[in-house]
Structure 1
Amino acid sequence: MELKEEEESEPVSPTAQYLSSSTLSLCILAILEFEQVLDDSLLMQLVKDVFLSISPRFSSVMVRDENGAKQRKRVEVKLINHVKFPFCPSGLSPESYDKYLGDYISEIGMQQLPQSQPLWEIHLIRSPTSHAACTLIFKLHHSLGDGFSLMGALLSCLQRADDPSLPLTLPSVFLPSKAKDESNGSIFTRVLKIFSTVSDTVLDFCWNFVKSTTAEDDQTPIRSGDDRVEFRPVRVATMTFSLDHVKQIKTKVVATINDVVTGIIFLGTRLYMQELRHDSSNAKSTALILLNTRVFRSYESVKDMLKHDANAPWGNYFAFLHMSIPELTDDWSSNPLDFVVKARQIMNFKKNSLAVYLTGRVLEILKNFRVPESLSVTIISYMEKLRVSVVAEDGFIDSQKLKSCVEHAFEVMLNATVETKFLNSH
C-alpha cells in the first residue's frame, strides 16, 4: 500500500467507524443484471476511468493519525486486487447457474475486505442465469457511503440512451411545507406540539438505547442467538411485486409506500415464524430499520453531493430505528391490512421523534456492542417494480420458505383491498 502524502486526509465519521469496527463490519452487495455479456477489458476501463473518479473514498484507506483518530488517506489502487473474474462452469442449465450465483454471493458475503486497500470489489459472473446473460456484483463497504450515496454513484456511471450528452433527469419528490400550518396554530397548539415531540423523543431514544444494549429478543425461527452469526454463510432470495399493486394497498389504508412494504414484510415474517414454530408468532421480535435522514427532493450528481454545502451530501446519513414486529393474532386473516396500520402508527410516532438524529452520539457510546442478525431485507423500486431481497443465515432460515410467506402476505393484503371494506379510522 502506497500512501499519497500530498493528499489531504479526511476524518472518518462516527457512523463509518462503527460500521468498520472490530464488532461490526457491514458491506453492501449491489447486483446488476445485463442482457448482454460484458467485455472484460471494457469493464476494467470503465472502473479505471469512471468508477474511481466518482469519489476519493474509492481510492482511500482508513489510517490512524498521531492522536489515534481514524482518517481517510489516498492510496494507489491496483485494479487487479479489486476486479474479479471468477471461473464459471460451462454447459449448465439457467436454473443451475442460478444456484451457482447464489452460492457465489454467499461465499463472497462471508469474506472480509482487506483493510490494507480501499474497501470495495467488483465481480463479473459471465454465466447466463434465468434472469440475465451476465451478472455484475459490487461489494462495497458501508463505511464508503449509504445506499443514497452509492445509488448516486451508480447513476453517475450511466448515460441517457436518447442523447448521452444530456444529464440524467429523475423525478423529484414533493415535500409539503409545514410552515403555513404551524404559523396558523395557536400558542397552546404549538406548545402541545413541542411537548409531544420532546416526550416522544425521550421515550424513543431510551427504548432504542435499551434495545441496543441490554434488552434481547426471544430466540425464534428468525433469530438463532448464536455467537458471531454475522460471519456465517448466508442465502439470498429475491421477489418482485408490482408497484401499482403496492400503491393500491397504500390508497386503501391511507398510508405511505414505506408503511405498506413494512407491513408486508412484518406479516410475511410472522407467518414464517408461525409455520416453523407456532408459539413464536407472539414472540418478542424487533426489526432494525435504516432511515435516510437527508432532506432531499431527488437524486443529485456525485459532483453536487461532494460539495461542502450540498443539500444531499455524500456519506452515511441514516439512523437506526427499532420497530417491534406486531404479534400474529388468531384472527389476522380477517383483516391482514392491520399490519400496515400498525406499521403506519409506529412510523408516525418515529417521525414525531428526534431520536433518529442522535444516532451519531449513540454509535460513539455503543462502539463495543455487537448487532448480530440472522435475517436482513433490502428493498428497491424501479421500472414500476418493487424488488425485495432477503439475506438469511444459511442452514438456519429457509430463505425460499420465507420468500413464499412474504409473497403470500402480499397476496392476501392485495385481495383484502378488493374483498373487504376497510375503515381508515383504525
Structure 2
Amino acid sequence: MDHEEGIRLRKRALKPIETKREKIHKLGAEEEEEICWCEKEINNEEEPLSPSARLFHEPNFNVHIIAIMGCVTRINPDVIKPRLFHTLLNHPRFSSLLVVDEKNGGKMKWVRTEVDLDKHVIVPDVNHADMESPDHFVEDYIFELSKTSMDKSRPPWDLHLLNVKTSQSEAVGIFRVHHSLGDGTSLISLLLACTHQVSDPEALPTIPMKKEKQDSRKGEFGGFWGWLFRFWLVLQFVWNTIVDVFMFMATAVFLKDSNSPLKGPPGIEHNPRRFVFRTVSLDDMKFIKNAMNMTVNDVALGMTQAGLSRYLNRRYGENKKDEEGSTQKKNNIPNKIRLRSTLLVNIRPSAGIQSLADMMEKKKGSEAKWGNWIGYILLPFTIGLKDDPLDYIRKAKSTIDRKKNSFEAIYTFFIAEIVLKLFGIKVASALSHRIISHTTMCFSNLVGPLEEIGFYGHQIAYLAPSSYGQPHALMINFQSYVNKMTIVLSVDEDTIPDPHQLCDDIVESLRLIKDALLHN
C-alpha cells in the first residue's frame, strides 16, 4: 500500500472533526487511564483527556519531550513518511487533535483527524556553505525549537530531519512530542517500537528488563527470625513512606532547596533551553557497577553528584575570586547545601515495546496501555568535595536503596489525584508546580537497546532524549545504547551559561571514579 492509498483509506475510516456525536464518552480518571487501545474501535473519534494530560496543558506546565537521534547515514524523508503512516499514526494519540468542548464546561478531549505528514515531518533547507560548525548549528536549531509550542490545529508532535554531518553522525532527527501524549519513558518506548535491529530487520530491539533483587539476608533466617525479619522490612517501608510523604508535603508548603548557581528563578519554565550531550563508555560504568556491587543507575547518580560538585565548586569560587586561594581545589561550596532532584515516575508498569509494536500493527490481544500515572520522588543529592571519588558512588547507592524501600511515588500520585478531584485542575497544577520549583533539577536514566538499531532503515548512532517547559533550570538524562551512554543536559542559559563545562565535569567525574577503582 503506497502513501496516497493509505491516506484515502484513512479518510474513509475517520470522520471530520466537525462531526457532532450524540454522546460523549464520560470516563472516570482511573477508567480513562486504563484504556487498552487494542480493545477500542480504531475509528473511535473522541477521547477525554486524562487528569495528568490536562495538567500538561496548564500555562506553567507546557512541557515538550525531545528525542535527538543521530543517524549513521543521510535521512531520506520519502522513506520515513510512508513508514510513519503505517506505524506511528496507528496510535490514536498521534492522529488526534486536542479540542476544547465549550458546550461541556470547557472540557478537553482528543478527536481523531486526518494527518498531513508534510506538516509534521519538517525538512529545513540547510545552507552548508555558511555553516561554521555543524554541531553548533544543530544545537542552535533545537534551541530555537524550544522557543515554540505545538500548533494546536494539528496533533501535537513533529519530526525534524536535518541532513547535517556532525562530529557524531551523518544526519540528525529531532522527534518532538507534547508531554500530554504520554510520559517520557512510554514515548521513548514507542519510538523504539518503530525501530528494528540492524542485524535482523524483522526483529525489534532488545531492551533489558528490570530484575527484582532478592535480599541476600532473607535466606539466612527461618521460622520466628524469618517472620521477624519480614516484619522489620514492612516497618522500614512504612516508616520511609511516612517520612517521604511528610517531606513531599513540607516541600509543597515551605521547604525549598538552597539558592545555588543551578537553581533557576521563578518563571524559568517559559525560557528556551540549550541542549548539550556527551557520549561515554557504558562498559566503564559497568566496570564500576561490577566492582562495587551496585547498579548502573547508582553509578549514573554518583558520577552526576561528583560532576555537580566540581561545577558548583568552580562557580562558587568565581564568586570568591577576590579572596586569596579560591581555586578549584579549595572547597568553595557552602556547608549543608540542599539540592534535590524531582523524579516524575509513571507508576503504571510498562507493557514493553513488543506490545506497542503490536498495537501499531493493530494486532489483536496486544497488552499495550497508555496514559500518565505520575508520582513524585524527591531525590536528595550529596554536594561537596570528597577526597575519595568513590564516596559519591557509595552515597548514591545508599540514597537509591533507601528510596527503593518506600512507596513514595504511589502515595504522592494519590495525593495529587485527591487534590485534583477536590479542588480542580488549577489547584493541582499549582501544587505540582510548587513541588518542582522548590527543588533544583530533574534527573532520569533510561535503558536503551542492546544492539544497533535502525529507524525505518536509517541506522542510529546515538539517542539523546530530554525535554523543555519544566520549572527547572537543569535537567539531566542518561540514555544507554549498545555499549554507549549518552548524557543529555537541558539548561536555561541565563542560569547555567556554560553547559558544556558542566557536561565535561560529569564526564571527568566518571574518569576519576574509574581511576580510583583501578588504583585501589
TM-score (norm 2): 0.72
Change (3 A) 1:295 1:46: closer
- Partners in 2 of 1:258 and 1:294 — Cα distance? 20
- Maintained 8 Å contact 1:110/1:233: yes
> Match for residue 126 of structure 2?
88
* CA deviation after TM superposition for structure 1 residue 36, in Å: 2.2
* CA deviation after TM superposition for structure 1 residue 52, in Å: 1.0
- Partners in 2 of 1:50 and 1:296 — Cα distance? 19
Q: Which amino acid aligns with 2:274?
A: R
> Match for residue 458 of structure 2?
none
- Maintained 8 Å contact 2:373/2:413: no
> Match for residue 56 of structure 2?
19
* CA deviation after TM superposition for structure 1 residue 374, in Å: 0.4
- Partners in 1 of 2:249 and 2:121 — Cα distance? 40
- Partners in 1 of 2:364 and 2:396 — Cα distance? 36
* CA deviation after TM superposition for structure 1 residue 68, in Å: 5.1
Q: Does 1:338 align with 2:375?
A: no
- Maintained 8 Å contact 1:109/1:234: yes
Q: Does 1:29 align with 2:66?
A: yes
- Partners in 2 of 1:300 and 1:114 — Cα distance? 31
Q: Does 1:134 align with 2:171?
A: yes
Q: Which amino acid aligns with 1:111?
A: T
Q: Which amino acid aligns with 1:316?
A: N
> Match for residue 400 of structure 1?
500
> Match for residue 417 of structure 1?
517
SS in 1 for 2:311: helix
Q: Does 1:348 align with 2:401?
A: yes
- Maintained 8 Å contact 1:288/1:323: yes
Q: Which amino acid aligns with 1:2?
A: I
Q: Which amino acid aligns with 2:476?
A: V
- Partners in 1 of 2:398 and 2:209 — Cα distance? 26
* CA deviation after TM superposition for structure 1 residue 61, in Å: 2.9
SS in 1 for 2:308: helix
SS in 2 for 1:289: strand
Change (3 A) 1:183 1:315: farther
- Partners in 1 of 2:204 and 2:382 — Cα distance? 44
SS in 2 for 1:37: coil
- Maintained 8 Å contact 1:145/1:316: yes
Change (3 A) 1:201 1:391: same
> Match for residue 102 of structure 1?
139
> Match for residue 111 of structure 2?
73
Structure 2 counterparts to residues 201-350 of structure 1, below 5 A: 201-225=241-265, 227-278=266-317, 279-282=332-335, 283-291=337-345, 293-295=347-349, 299-303=353-357, 313-329=369-385, 332=386, 334-350=387-403
- Maintained 8 Å contact 1:224/1:396: yes
> Match for residue 424 of structure 1?
none
Q: Which amino acid aligns with 1:272?
A: Y
- Maintained 8 Å contact 1:221/1:280: no
* CA deviation after TM superposition for structure 1 residue 245, in Å: 0.9
5+ residue gaps, structure 1, are 421-426
- Partners in 2 of 1:30 and 1:161 — Cα distance? 20
* CA deviation after TM superposition for structure 1 residue 171, in Å: 4.7
- Partners in 1 of 2:354 and 2:185 — Cα distance? 10
* CA deviation after TM superposition for structure 1 residue 382, in Å: 0.8
Deviations along 1:347-374, whole A, 9 cap, x unmatched?
A: 1121111121134334343322424210
- Maintained 8 Å contact 2:303/2:393: yes
- Partners in 1 of 2:236 and 2:177 — Cα distance? 40
RMSD, matched Cα:
3.0
**Range with bigger deviation, 251-260 or 162-171:** 162-171
> Match for residue 234 of structure 2?
194
- Maintained 8 Å contact 2:193/2:357: no
> Match for residue 481 of structure 2?
382
Change (3 A) 1:367 1:416: same
> Match for residue 58 of structure 1?
94
* CA deviation after TM superposition for structure 1 residue 167, in Å: 5.0
Q: Give aligned-pair identity as a percent.
A: 27
Deviations along 1:298-345, whole A, 9 cap, x unmatched?
A: 64331557999976733335533211221304xx1x211111222211
* CA deviation after TM superposition for structure 1 residue 3, in Å: 5.0
- Partners in 1 of 2:353 and 2:169 — Cα distance? 27
- Partners in 2 of 1:344 and 1:126 — Cα distance? 41
Change (3 A) 1:219 1:308: farther
Q: Which amino acid aligns with 2:379?
A: M
> Match for residue 157 of structure 2?
120
Q: Which amino acid aligns with 1:130?
A: S
- Maintained 8 Å contact 1:11/1:70: yes
- Partners in 1 of 2:338 and 2:203 — Cα distance? 52
Q: Which amino acid aligns with 2:92?
A: P
- Partners in 1 of 2:200 and 2:179 — Cα distance? 33
* CA deviation after TM superposition for structure 1 residue 252, in Å: 2.8
Change (3 A) 1:172 1:349: closer
> Match for residue 425 of structure 2?
none
Deviations along 1:196-225, whole A, 9 cap, x unmatched?
A: 211111111121232244322222111132
Change (3 A) 1:415 1:166: closer
**How many positions carry a matched residue from both structures?**
414
- Maintained 8 Å contact 1:240/1:385: yes
SS in 2 for 1:117: coil
- Maintained 8 Å contact 1:152/1:300: no
Change (3 A) 1:107 1:258: same
> Match for residue 442 of structure 2?
none
SS in 2 for 1:262: helix
Quick one: which of 383, 386, 391 aligns to 2:490?
391
Higher relative contact order (CA 8 A, sep 6+): 2
- Maintained 8 Å contact 1:27/1:140: yes
Change (3 A) 1:160 1:267: closer
Change (3 A) 1:162 1:130: closer
Q: Which amino acid aligns with 1:381?
A: S
Change (3 A) 1:207 1:345: same
* CA deviation after TM superposition for structure 1 residue 295, in Å: 4.5
- Partners in 2 of 1:78 and 1:142 — Cα distance? 21
TM-score (norm 1): 0.87
Q: Does 1:358 align with 2:411?
A: yes
Q: Which amino acid aligns with 1:28?
A: I
